[in-house]
């Protein structure tokens, strides 16, 4: 459980507020959707989804990520993991729908690539605020059909991923994988529930983690008590029925924070 010292080998600016940090050594046998605990020395240890077996894709949103953005190639940070339950990989011939919003594209990109290698047909809905905020469009495009939505209409459908989702026959897909802002995932959840296909869907939740291994209970979700770090972060749609999804999360003190 001691952090591995990971050296930054490359930094790619994906957008003004998002960067991908490549590191060495990478992880073998990564289960797409798993996460690592990233230790920014002197600041904090935070959970991050892996965008490859040797990279994390980070949005600058707080003290820890701001400090991470100050690091250069050759610098290092600590890593523990990978932890948690990832997405269920499809089998050859299955048709899957990937729904990615914002930085949610990070853990979904290796999942989509693994699905493609397994022989599945991949269709991606990729959403962002604007064209400049679309992440990994090229990676998804290399795997199959990509439908794009942007809040400002600068590319694709003007609106949200659900505006595209409403026009699809979701029952035609064997698996549906979802990751993005929780408000977005909550909207997708309700639509899939209305279409009676929740049993085909998996959602990746983001919560505050302390230990990352299921011991402290800080990331337990209502009403089930499931631990996001150990039982998730990927949950089936059925597991999330009646849960706190889209309603609230908790801060470091355990206090509820409205989403």
Tens digits of residue pLDDT in 13-36: 999 899 999 999 999 888 999 999
The predicted model gives 38-54 an average pLDDT of: 94
Query: Number of structural domains, the chain?
Result: 1
In this structure, is residue 24 part of a structural domain?
A: yes
SS3 at position 87: coil
In this structure, is residue 57 part of a structural domain?
A: yes
Q: What is the pLDDT of residues 190-223, one digit of tens each?
A: 999 999 999 999 999 999 888 999 998 889 999 9
Instruction: Say if residues 46 and 101 touch (Cβ distance below 8 Å).
Output: no
How much is the pLDDT for 253?
Answer: 85
Using a cut of 0.85, tell me whether the model's pTM lies above it. Answer: yes
What's the mean pLDDT when you consider all of the chain?
95
In this structure, is residue 44 part of a structural domain?
A: yes
Q: What is the pLDDT of residues 227-246, one digit of tens each?
A: 999 999 999 999 999 999 99
In this structure, is residue 59 part of a structural domain?
A: yes
In this structure, is residue 49 part of a structural domain?
A: yes
pLDDT at 1 over 80: no
In this structure, is residue 10 part of a structural domain?
A: yes
How much is the pLDDT for 2?
Answer: 78
In this structure, is residue 122 part of a structural domain?
A: no
In this structure, is residue 45 part of a structural domain?
A: yes
Tokens representing residue 120 in the block: 């599945």
Give the domain extent around 60. Answer: 4-83
pLDDT band at 177 (very low <50, low <70, confident <90, very high): very high
Q: What is the CATH number of the domain that holds 47?
A: 2.40.30.10
Residue 47: CA count within 13 A, CB half-sphere: 24
In sign, the C-alpha dihedral spanning 234, 80, 62, 219 is positive
Q: Residue 219 annotated as binding?
A: yes
pLDDT band at 148 (very low <50, low <70, confident <90, very high): very high
Percent of the chain with pLDDT over 90: 90
C-alpha to C-alpha distances, 113 to 91, 98, 99, 110, 144, nearest whole angstrom: 13, 11, 14, 5, 10
Q: Residue 220 annotated as binding?
A: no
CA 2 – CA 29 distance, rounded (Å):
20
């Amino acid at each position: 459980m001691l952090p591995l010292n990971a050296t930054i080998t490359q930094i790619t600016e994906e957008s003004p507020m998002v960067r991908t940090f490549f590191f060495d050594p990478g992880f073998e046998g990564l289960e797409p959707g798993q996460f690592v605990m990233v230790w920014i020395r002197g600041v904090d240890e935070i959970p991050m989804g892996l965008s490859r077996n040797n990279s994390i894709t980070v949005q600058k949103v707080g003290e820890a990520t701001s400090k991470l953005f100050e690091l250069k190639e050759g610098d290092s940070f600590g890593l523990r993991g990978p932890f948690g339950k990832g997405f269920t990989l499809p089998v050859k011939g299955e048709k899957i729908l990937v729904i990615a919003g914002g930085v949610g594209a990070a853990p979904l990109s290796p999942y989509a690539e693994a699905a493609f290698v397994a022989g599945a047909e991949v269709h991606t809905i990729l959403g962002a605020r604007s064209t400049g905020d679309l992440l990994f469009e090229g990676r998804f495009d290399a795997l199959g059909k990509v439908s794009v939505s942007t809040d400002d209409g600068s590319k694709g459908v003007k609106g949200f991923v659900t505006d595209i989702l409403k026009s699809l026959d979701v029952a035609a897909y064997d698996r549906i994988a979802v990751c993005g802002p929780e408000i977005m995932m909550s909207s997708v959840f309700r639509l899939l529930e209305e279409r009676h296909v929740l049993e085909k869907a998996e959602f990746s939740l983001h919560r505050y983690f302390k230990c990352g291994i299921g011991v402290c209970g800080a990331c337990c979700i209502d009403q089930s008590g499931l631990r996001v770090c150990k039982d998730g972060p990927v949950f089936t749609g059925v597991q999330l029925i009646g849960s706190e999804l889209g309603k609230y999360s908790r801060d470091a003190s355990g206090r509820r924070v409205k989403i």
